[in-house]
């Protein structure tokens, strides 16, 4: 499908969803789906407005809270991202996605200890959530806990063997743990899976392997 066709399809979908919202202004689902498509189309402010309308109708909509938090995070508004994830946890305290989102926020704030705690909580609530283990590996690397980072990275790879980022993060943890051959294996696997491995990391790894 060409870019033009894709844009036309998105525009048509937006028109249909806007009509649905107009017909059913109290429908959380209608506002939520319109927000998702606005976001996909790059109409971020309109996406935020629609998620907020959905939450006006149903303040307990954790799906809307999580999606709204993702937009705030991408915009760099970490305080609003934190607040929306915390609101989601007030509704569902065991919501793993909200815990790992908070972990990512703490990473961006430079607090490795709180990031590790949040990602660990996510893995406790959903042990099969590969992204939570990937994020935990990153946070453990930040904290200097390289053996724990390796363990988290291996868990992510075991859960999703074709997850490029999982192989990449495991490679970094293995590098700092001085397991260079295994680090190279997982870095190569990450590249094979299409993940953009940092060339500076690859250069440092290759230098250590000489």
- Summarize pLDDT for 53-88 with one digit per residue, the tens: 999 999 999 999 999 999 999 999 999 999 999 999
Question: Residue 4: is its pLDDT beyond 60?
Answer: no
Say whether pTM exceeds 0.85. Answer: yes
Average the pLDDT over 105-132 and give the result.
98
Average the pLDDT over 156-164 and give the result.
98
Q: What is the pLDDT of residue 123?
A: 98
CA–CA separation, 206 and 170 (whole Å): 16
**Count of CB atoms within 10 A of residue 162's CB?**
11
Q: What is the pLDDT of residue 8?
A: 63
Task: Provide long-range contacts, Cβ within 8 A and 24+ apart, for 44-49.
Answer: 44/71, 44/75, 47/71
Nearest in space to 159 (alpha carbons), one of 134, 193, 191, 125: 134
Distances (CA, A) of 28 to 6, 24, 40, 45, 71: 26, 9, 19, 18, 18
Q: How does residue 5 score in pLDDT terms, banded at 50, 70 and 90?
A: low
Average the pLDDT over 193-210 and give the result.
95
Please, are residues 166 and 130 in contact by the beta-carbon 8 Å criterion? Answer: yes
Q: What is the pLDDT of residue 6?
A: 53
Q: What is the pLDDT of residue 7?
A: 62
Q: How does residue 49 score in pLDDT terms, banded at 50, 70 and 90?
A: very high
Question: Residue 2: is its pLDDT beyond 90?
Answer: no
Average the pLDDT over 86-110 and give the result.
98
Secondary structure class of 134 (helix, strand, coil): helix
CA angle 12, 74, 194 (to 5 degrees): 80
Question: Residue 197: is its pLDDT beyond 80?
Answer: yes
H or E stretch at 23: helix 3-23
Distances (CA, A) of 138 to 16, 84, 105, 130: 41, 23, 13, 13
Q: What is the pLDDT of residue 15?
A: 87
* Average confidence score pLDDT of the chain: 94
């Amino acid at each position: 499908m060409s870019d033009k066709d894709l844009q036309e399809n998105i525009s048509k979908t937006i028109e249909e969803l806007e009509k649905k919202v107009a017909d059913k202004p109290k429908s959380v689902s209608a506002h939520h789906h319109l927000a998702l498509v606005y976001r996909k189309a790059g109409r971020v402010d309109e996406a935020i407005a629609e998620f907020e309308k959905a939450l006006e109708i149903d303040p307990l909509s954790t799906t809307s809270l999580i999606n709204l938090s993702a937009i705030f995070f991408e915009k760099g508004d970490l305080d609003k991202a934190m607040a929306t994830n915390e609101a989601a946890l007030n509704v569902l305290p065991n919501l793993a996605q909200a815990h790992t989102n908070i972990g990512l926020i703490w990473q961006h704030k430079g607090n490795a200890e709180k990031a590790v705690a949040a990602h660990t909580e996510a893995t406790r609530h959903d042990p099969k959530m590969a992204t939570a283990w990937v994020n935990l590996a990153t946070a453990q690397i930040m904290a200097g806990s390289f053996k724990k980072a390796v363990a988290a990275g291996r868990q992510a790879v075991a859960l999703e063997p074709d997850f490029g980022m999982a192989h990449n993060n495991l490679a970094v943890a293995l590098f700092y743990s001085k397991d260079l051959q295994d680090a190279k294996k997982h870095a190569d696997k990450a590249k094979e899976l299409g993940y953009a491995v940092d060339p500076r990391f690859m250069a440092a790894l290759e230098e250590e392997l000489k």
